[in-house]
Amino acid sequence: MSSSYYLLCVSHDPALRIDSSFTSPDAAMDAIAAGLEEHPVCDLLVARVSGALCEVGCPPTRNQRHHPPCLAHGGPKWADADLLRLLTAVNQTDDVRVRDVARSNAFSCWSIRRLHRLRLELGTPALLVLDPSAGTR
Ligand SMILES: [Zn+2]
Ligand SMILES: [Zn+2]
């Protein structure tokens, strides 16, 4: 089955599916780079769907119109939907050492706020761990 790509606005809670569909990841990333009239300063991600949601991509930092949670990256960063589900679960554990893994630099694109807002796409529970050390990124 071929993949299609659509944009997600995670400035909204829960994330809003933007009514657009692309046949390649580059076309979707280019649309974000060009800017969206309806979401001029929003936090935008790309979803890859092949039957079900497969992956979510964070656009290159220079193409993001808001202050992104992630460490700067020059190309898109993709994460498997299952990895995002795991990170959601890990973010909710009581074990601080395990939780710190989900909040490490390796996963900086997938902040608690973004994961929480992606919950309907991922089929995960709400995740607003309002732990002050978690920050608001
Ligand atoms: Zn928006
Ligand atoms: Zn990122």
Over residues 76-134, the pLDDT tens digits come to 999 999 999 999 999 999 999 999 999 999 999 999 999 999 999 999 988 765 554 54
Ligand minimally distant from the alpha carbon of residue 58: 2
What is residue 65's predicted lDDT score, i.e. its pLDDT?
A: 87
Mean of pLDDT values over 36-49: 96
Would you state the structure tokens that stand for residue 40, as one six-digit string? 């001029």
CA distances (Å), 30 to each of 6, 59, 66, 101, in order?
12, 9, 16, 31
Looking at per-residue confidence, does 73 or 131 come out higher? 73
Report CA(96)–ligand 2 centroid distance (Å).
23
CA distances (Å), 76 to each of 48, 55, 83, 89, in order?
13, 12, 16, 24
Report CA(78)–ligand 1 centroid distance (Å).
20
CB burial readout 44-64, b (16+ within 10 A) else e:
bbbbbbeeebebbbbbbeebb
Report CA(111)–ligand 2 centroid distance (Å).
9
Report CA(98)–ligand 1 centroid distance (Å).
32
Report CA(15)–ligand 2 centroid distance (Å).
16
Ligand minimally distant from the alpha carbon of residue 106: 2
Report CA(14)–ligand 2 centroid distance (Å).
19
Predicted model pTM: 0.90
Mean of pLDDT values over 8-36: 95
